Amino acid sequence: MTADTRPRTALDLIAMKAAHRPIVMLTCYDALFARLLDSPDVDVLLVGDSVNQVLAGHENTLSATLDQMIYHAAAVRRGSRMLTFVDLPFLSYQVSVEDAIRNAGRVMQETGAHGVKLEGGRPMAATVSALVERGIPVIGHIGLTPQSVHALGGYRVQGREADAAGRMEADATALEAAGACALVLELVPTALATRISQSLTIPTIGIGAGGGCDGQVLVLHDMLGLNEGFEPKFLKRYAELAGAVRAAAHAFADDVRSGRYPDAKHSFE
């Protein structure tokens, strides 16, 4: 995909599905990495509430706040012109539709993002509809929904049983009918994710959902090999930067202690 054909609005994502063009999404949290990713290779940036795990060291996403998401989303937007969606954090949209409208509106107004993402199936359909009716594009998220990790019994594949698979298919249909522009499918059996993808006119973006989805998303730090110790089956590392960081720190320390740095080249007369 060339620079002038990258998606610029939520409707472009639907057009990409119709054209059978796979969607490439990466989760990003800051301006520096957003600048590096602002290229024809990546279609969409997601500012995920996983920031609280990846950068802040928390056990799960539940402690992420709206102000925190706005801070990181604004930083990403300063670094990139790309289509950008932002996770609505836990309890910023579940309490009431009014809360959801107010908080999603803040995200759009204060960050310049192009839309929001929220978790949940049919119980969230009315909320999705209310946001879309007010001009806020929404990506849905079903399967493993990290904000419900305690209710789901941990981070595990969802929809293996026939009843659960049927509920997930109904959730996907309801979110599409409510006006969602795309769906993230997380930790879903390949056959089920493929069936859902084929049944919808909006695209699905998979993470641990197999190759039958209309696109794929990974967290940038995981994909780069920076998040050591996180090794789920679905994750493919495209670099091993944790070792490079350690090697660079070791070389710097060695130069400082030996007096090689700073040398004349790196000093001022």
Active site residue 133: no
Q: Give me the helix-helix angle, 66-79 and 97-111, nearest 10°.
A: 30
Q: Cis ω on the peptide bond leading into residue 22 (within 30° of 0)?
A: no
Going by the DSSP 8-state scheme, the letter that residue 88 receives in this structure is P
Burial of 159 (0-12, 13-18, 19+ CB in 10 A): buried
CA distances to 27, 167, 190 from 163, rounded to whole Å, are 31, 6, 16
Catalytic-labelled residue, pool 169, 186, 231, 269: 186
Antiparallel, parallel or unpaired: β 215-219 and 23-27: parallel
**Which token pair is 175?**
């979110």
d(CA 214, CA 6): 15
What residues are labeled active site? 186
